[in-house]
Structure formats: structure tokens, C-alpha cells
Amino acid sequence: MPQPPSASQPSAEIGVIGGSGFYSFLDDVHEVEVDTPFGRPSDTLTIGELAGRRVAFVPRHGRDHRYPPHKIPYRANLWALRSLGVRQIVAPSAVGSLTPDHGPGTLAVPNQLVDRTSGRAQTFYDEGGAVHLSFADPYCPIGRQVAVSTARRAGWPPVDGGTLVVIEGPRFSTRAESQWYAAQGWTLIGMTGHPEAVLARELALCYIPVCLVTDLDAGIEEGEGVTMEEVFRVFAENIGRLRPLVADMIKSLPTDRACPCPHSLDGMKLPLDLP
């Protein structure tokens, strides 16, 4: 099995992939440059302390939001986190809603994923033989339980379950697309939840989505449709609640993983050595 980081290398046990609003929730922080076989991560990683846990943070789009969703170096981000010792990842993101029941400000912890992207690199195992992993349940079950129970205790009852459909972006959906997604029974729509989740599974990591609804998608209500300004505004209005919620989640995550995630690579002949 892969070895943990050496004593001289900075390390962390939990990773957070999110926006710039999460820099300030860590104590005693320092920055770490990480190179990977898949290029550089979105930005310099920040490692710090939170309630006695070592946490590594990577800004998904870069600090200056320079990477659009289809250009994010997903493989480098996940590889870099694992190389620092991370084994559990909390992934907050802004999403749209495909049902009027989940309006802006709703917190959701989906349990299913549909990929509607195109052209994104979504595996580490491009050469040397196929690696077929189970992905029937894309998210860590214990991590999801922690997210749901933590949100309930915080007085922000989440939507427990549902399907996140991930589109290519960077454009938003047409009304027809939005209505078609909703007709399939899918409940949330975003641009970054894939391939993050599948890449985490390929590294035997726990991946825990925490979705903040910022808008109703174009086909769900009348009006001009989704705008970037609206998404940023609603996210900014809720970051003060989301940041401490993620911090409480991190405190509550188990130190020993009893979920299936650590065993996702058991029995596999991998064509490359993992960090």
C-alpha cells in the first residue's frame, strides 16, 4: 500500500476543496508547493490546524478564480492532497436547484451523481491496463452521515440525499436542458462535482459533498435565468454559515475510517505508484 508522507514533509489528514472563503478557518497556517505527475494544482496548498486536526486546503478555481470548471486541474488537486497524507475530503460547492422545493440558501448533501461533462480527464489510470472501480455509490457513506448530522445540530437542516448532475460549463443550462434534467428526477446541478468524486475514489479517499443552493436553474422558474452575479451574491450571503459548518464537520470526522472507501483499490493491479 502507499506510504504516508515522510517526517520532513508537511502533512494533513483531511482535505478541503473549496472557494477562497475557506482560507480563514484554519489556525497556524503555512503554504506548501506541490508538484504532481499531472501538473501543478489549482494553487498553492494551505495547511493548518483545526480542533487538533491537520487540514489541507486547495482553492478549486485558484485564488483569483482563474480556472473555469472545465479547466480545473482536478487530477493534480486530488493527487497533491493524497501526497500530503489526506485521506478524507470535504468538498463544499455552489449548485443550482432543479426543484422549487430547494430554493437559494438550501443546504444539500447528495447521495448520487450523474456526469454530463465532456472532455475532462477523469482517471489517473490512462495507461498500463484498465482499472475498473466500483462507483455505484459515489460518496463516502460515513462522511455523508457526519455532514447531515452536523448540519442538523447547527440548525441548518440539510436535504439528505438527491442526485447532483454535473454539466460541462462554463455556461449555464438552457431552459430545455434544465427541464430535461429535472424530468429525470435529478435535484441539483453543478459544474465541479465531477471528476472530483471519481478521482477521489481512484485514490481510495473519502469524498464528502456539501452543496449550497445559490439559484433555481433556468427551466425551473420564470425570469432571465441564472447569472454569475446571483450565484456569487447568494454564496457570499451564506459563507458565514457554511464555513463554521465545514469546520464542525472536520471536528466530527472519524480518525479511523470504517467506511468502504479505504478498500476501493483492494485486489487491484495499479499501473502507477500512488503517493
Catalytic residues: 215, 217
Q: How far is CA 100 from CA 75, 78, 218, 246, in A?
A: 34, 33, 11, 25
Residue type at position 32: V
C-alpha–C-alpha distance, residues 193 and 262, integer Å: 20
Residue type at position 244: P
C-alpha–C-alpha distance, residues 254 and 257, integer Å: 6
46: which residues sit within 8 A by CB, 6+ positions away? Answer: 23, 26, 29, 30, 31, 32, 56, 57, 58
* CB distance 25 to 246 below 8 Å: yes
Q: Which three cell numbers stand for residue 70?
A: 472545465
Residue type at position 156: W
C-alpha–C-alpha distance, residues 74 and 80, integer Å: 10
